[in-house]
Amino acid sequence: MLDRIRASIPALPPAEQRVARLVLADPRGFAGQPVGELAERSHVSKPTVVRFCRSVGYAGLADFKRKLAGSVNEGVPFVHRAVDEADKAGDILVKVIDNAVAALLRYRNAAAAQAVERAIAALADAARGSRRIEFYGVGNSGIVAHDAQHKFFRLGVWATAVSDGHIQVMSATMLAHGDCAVIISNSGRSRDLLDVAEIARRKGATVIVITASGSPLAHEAQGGSQHILLAADHPEDADRYSPMVSRLLHLTIVDILTTGVALRLGSATLRPMLQEIKKNLRAKRYVGSSDNSSSTS
| 291 three-state secondary structure | coil
The model's confidence at residue 283, banded by pLDDT at 50, 70 and 90, is confident
Beta strand segments in the chain, E: 133-136, 159-162, 180-184, 206-211, 227-231
Backbone angles phi, psi at 77, to 5 degrees: -75, 160
Per residue in 89-123, pLDDT tens?
887 887 788 888 888 888 887 788 888 999 999 99
> Which domains, ranges and CATH numbers included, belong to the chain?
1-74 (1.10.10.10), 113-265 (3.40.50.10490)
Contacts of 153 by beta carbon, 8 Å cutoff, 6+ apart: 159
- State pTM to two decimals: 0.70
- Give the pLDDT of residue 236: 61
What's the pLDDT tens digit per position in 117-157? 999 999 999 999 999 999 999 988 999 999 999 999 888 89
How far is it, in rounded angstroms, from Cα 148 to Cα 161?
8
For 150-189, what is each residue's pLDDT tens digit? 999 888 898 999 999 999 999 999 999 999 999 999 888 8
Cα angle at 225 between 199 and 189, to 5 degrees? 45
Q: So what's the pLDDT on residue 78?
A: 43
